[in-house]
Amino acid sequence: MPESEDWPQGRPEAPRRRLPRDERTSPEAAARIKQQSTWVDLQVKEAIRRGEFDNLPGAGKPLADLGTEHDPDWWIKKLVERERVVVLPLSVQLRREDAELDAELDRLATEKDVRARVEDFNSRVIAARYRLPEGPPLITMPREVEETVAAWRERRDARLEEARRRAAARAVERPRRWWQRRRRS
């Protein structure tokens, strides 16, 4: 089939039609299902023969949490635990972000980046105020951009002055190097 501008990878497949209930239980369908399960069994036997299941982690050990009560959401809980996913209501997320915002701003190098970050934070706070409340009430307020940038500038200047003071103190305390020592005669 030639490619065209509309479909560079060829025409999309037509949607599959759903079979009526009596066709799904037909002898042909049953034969296909049996053949598929036979094929799967064959693939597993081949993998065992090749040794692909040898030395797997946890081999010979009992499954963890096997004897506890049934929990239909076990897989999502394991995923959250394994991936360390934190799901918080938006109001709590914004409150946490507001508390950590100054430290994050201090890692930025330019005033332009600081302004963009504060404006992004403010836009998310304002958008959250227009939503229906989810969880605790939203008490986080947008920040005044000019005041936040001025505070960032003061903290940056203080850090630079502290770095200059430490550098000057190290220069005074620096011992002489071997090529700077005087020879004794």
- Compute the distance between CA of residue 108 and CA of residue 10 in angstroms, rounded to an integer: 47
Q: Average pLDDT over the chain, rounded to whole?
A: 82
What's this model's pTM, rounded to 2 decimal places? Answer: 0.50
Structural domain for 127, as ranges: 90-170
Asked whether the beta carbons of 97 and 121 are under 8 A apart, the reply is yes
CA torsion angle for 12, 13, 14, 15 (degrees, to 10)?
A: -110
In a domain, 5, yes or no: no
Dihedral of alpha carbons 55, 61, 63, 64, sign: negative
Nearest CA-CA partner of 88 in 134, 137, 123, 143:
134
Which carries the bigger pLDDT value, residue 179 or residue 116? 116
142 in a domain, yes or no?
Answer: yes
Question: Within a domain: residue 123?
Answer: yes
pLDDT digits (tens, 9 = 90+) for 47-76: 999 988 888 888 888 777 666 677 888 888
Q: Are 111 and 149 in contact (CB under 8 A)?
A: yes
Residue 138 near residue 103 (C-beta atoms within 8 A): no
Give me the pLDDT at residue 155, please: 94
Task: Look at residue 57 and tell me if it is in a domain.
Answer: no
As a residue count, the chain comes to 185
**Interval 149-165 mean pLDDT:** 94
Q: How many domains does the chain have?
A: 1
Residue 94 lies in a domain: yes
How many Å apart are CA 81 and CA 73, to the nearest integer? 13
Return the higher-pLDDT residue of 112 and 83. 112
Residue 148 domain-assigned? yes
Do residues 10 and 3 make contact, with C-beta atoms less than 8 angstroms apart?
yes
Count of alpha carbons within 13 angstroms of residue 29, beta-carbon side: 8
Do the domain assignments include residue 103?
yes
Percent of the chain with pLDDT over 90: 35
Write out pLDDT tens, residues 25-37. Answer: 678 888 887 788 7
pLDDT per residue as tens digits for the range 76-98:
888 888 888 877 888 899 999 99
Q: What pLDDT was estimated at residue 1? A: 47
Would 61 be classed as within a structural domain? no
